Structure 1
Amino acid sequence: MSTQFSKGPTFGLSADVRSKLAQKYDPQTEEALRLWIHEVTGRALPDNFMEGLKDGVILCELINKLQPGSIPKINHSTLNWHKLENITHFVRAIGEYGLKPHDIFEANDLFEDMNHTQVQCTLVALAGVAKTKGFYTKSDIGVKYAAKKQRKFNPDKMKAGDSIISQQMGSNQFASQKGMTSYGTRRHLFDPNIGMEKPADRSTINLQMGTNKCASMAGMFALGTARQVTEKNVNLDPVDTTTVSLQMGTNKVPSQSGLTPMGGARLVYDRKYCAKPNEQDGIDFVN
């Protein structure tokens, strides 16, 4: 009775994949693994490296040397299912030993010669984990993994750092008010040094955030609306929010342009000859 499963040749895409995987196999790494396994287990491998590992006996002895008691029973039978059982126990044991799932080969990769490159990578990773755990040998194979170090920070310090802007994020020099208000909206200026009450909303910009020099009322009103000017020193209270303080611009060279709709009558009032009109008449005063 044959001790191997009957398996036919591969063609097409399967043959191309197996050929590319076989090209990645490194003979020098195989020789280094041969010396490492012989040093750990004391067992010499045959010339055909993968054939010597296919029954799973040497693999089980290897993990038992690295982690005693990992596989209590090793099958020395020549039956296929016993060999597969040994390989399965080895795969489970190295996972418990610390290997990552993506570093572990499957049983068919070795037993059915599906991917010898993956078997080689698994043994190299196993040597690296053993070196990390302090199992050193004369054979220098595998990379020692860095130890994980966890640090705990004070939550109060972490919360305080949220309010600090690092200089690596930029600079606050040459700050401007560009983009702080929509195009055509009012820009209110607020100076805390003159005793004005703090504004209720964010539409008022503090003088510390910019400058009001050379300010104008351009774009503060819709085209054709009246522009009223008030001066605080003469005790003229503004009627509504459309009244602009002199601190926000200038009333030099004023005109009546835009005070009345185009084509409308403009009434003039003279104190000497006319009675006092009502405020709703919209009459201009002439001294």
Structure 2
Amino acid sequence: MSEYRAGKAGINAEAQARINSKYNDEIAQETLEWIQKITGSPANTAGDAENLYEVLKDGTLLCHLVNKFQEGSVKKINQSTMAFKCMENINAFLEAVKKLGVPSQETFQTIDLWEKQNLYSVVVCLQSLGRKAGNFGLPSMGPKESERNVREFSEDQLKAGQNVISLQYGSNKGQQSGISFGNRRQI
């Protein structure tokens, strides 16, 4: 977070504390070790939030990571430490991972990393990318990605399903008789 910005207070502080509580040092360390296995960087793979932020904040390592998946995913990696150049790197990474198959709900916003708003979502994005790594001949991370399970039903099976009355329609069993809107229940 920028050192010139006031801290959060009230409900915003509570919301930020809830977001920060989701962060897991072990999973972050596993993620950094996976990045190191693929790219050769970073030297420090400690999983604490401050280290993760320091390693990833300029976006260069993230861009090098996606370029290992598919050469040229990020054509220009900015080496400048100027804020907008670093955020361009992070944004280029995010665009590249979406093209590599990471679902948009598992990505993060640039500001989540740049201002250390939600490092948990950064780790979730990297974990999702780690599941995709096997598809690109790289070491994968995390649980194996599920496979498609398509079911084919015959015309007879589909017609038989139309005759079943769903429990969502309700039934008349167990209802209290004599009670309607506006009447009082006699006890």
TM-score interval for Structure 1 and Structure 2 normalised by the shorter chain: 0.7 to 0.9
| Contact 1:22/1:117 (8 A) holds in 2 | yes
Distance (whole Å) between structure 2 residues aligned to residue 86 and residue 134 of structure 1: 22
Aligned to 1:19: 17
- TM-score (norm: length of structure 1): 0.50
Distance (whole Å) between structure 1 residues aligned to residue 26 and residue 129 of structure 2: 17
Q: Which has the higher contact order (CA 8 A, sep 6+)?
A: 2
Q: 1:64 aligns with which of 67, 70, 76?
A: 67
User: Which amino acid is 1:21 matched to?
Assistant: I
User: Which structure features the higher share of strand residues?
Assistant: 1
User: Who wins on radius of gyration, i.e. which is larger?
Assistant: 1
Distance (whole Å) between structure 1 residues aligned to residue 159 and residue 150 of structure 2: 25
Aligned to 1:124: 127
> Is the alpha carbon distance of 1:164 and 1:120 closer, same or farther for their aligned partners in structure 2, counting shifts above 3 Å?
closer
Aligned pairs for 1:159-178 (under 5 A) are 160-161=156-157
| Contact 1:21/1:115 (8 A) holds in 2 | yes
Distance (whole Å) between structure 2 residues aligned to residue 96 and residue 8 of structure 1: 36
Aligned to 1:90: 93
Deviation string 1:14-54 (CA, Å, 9 cap, x unpaired) is 11111111111111111111110000001124451211100
Further displaced range: 22-31 or 45-54:
45-54
Distance (whole Å) between structure 1 residues aligned to residue 27 and residue 103 of structure 2: 20
How far is 1:161 from its partner? 4.5
Distance (whole Å) between structure 2 residues aligned to residue 111 and residue 165 of structure 1: 52
> Is the alpha carbon distance of 1:45 and 1:119 closer, same or farther for their aligned partners in structure 2, counting shifts above 3 Å?
farther
| Contact 2:69/2:138 (8 A) holds in 1 | no
Distance (whole Å) between structure 1 residues aligned to residue 65 and residue 158 of structure 2: 52
- How many residues get paired? 159
> Is the alpha carbon distance of 1:45 and 1:7 closer, same or farther for their aligned partners in structure 2, counting shifts above 3 Å?
farther
How far is 1:144 from its partner? 2.0
How far is 1:108 from its partner? 0.3
Moved over 6 A (4+): none
Aligned pairs for 1:155-194 (under 5 A) are 157-158=154-155, 160-161=156-157
| Contact 2:66/2:96 (8 A) holds in 1 | yes
User: Which amino acid is 1:146 matched to?
Assistant: S
Distance (whole Å) between structure 2 residues aligned to residue 163 and residue 127 of structure 1: 43
User: Which structure features the higher share of helix residues?
Assistant: 2
Flag structure 2 segments of 5+ consecutive residues without an equivalent. 166-187
| Contact 2:38/2:138 (8 A) holds in 1 | no
Of all paired residues, the percent bearing the same amino acid is 29
Aligned to 2:56: 53
Distance (whole Å) between structure 1 residues aligned to residue 80 and residue 98 of structure 2: 24
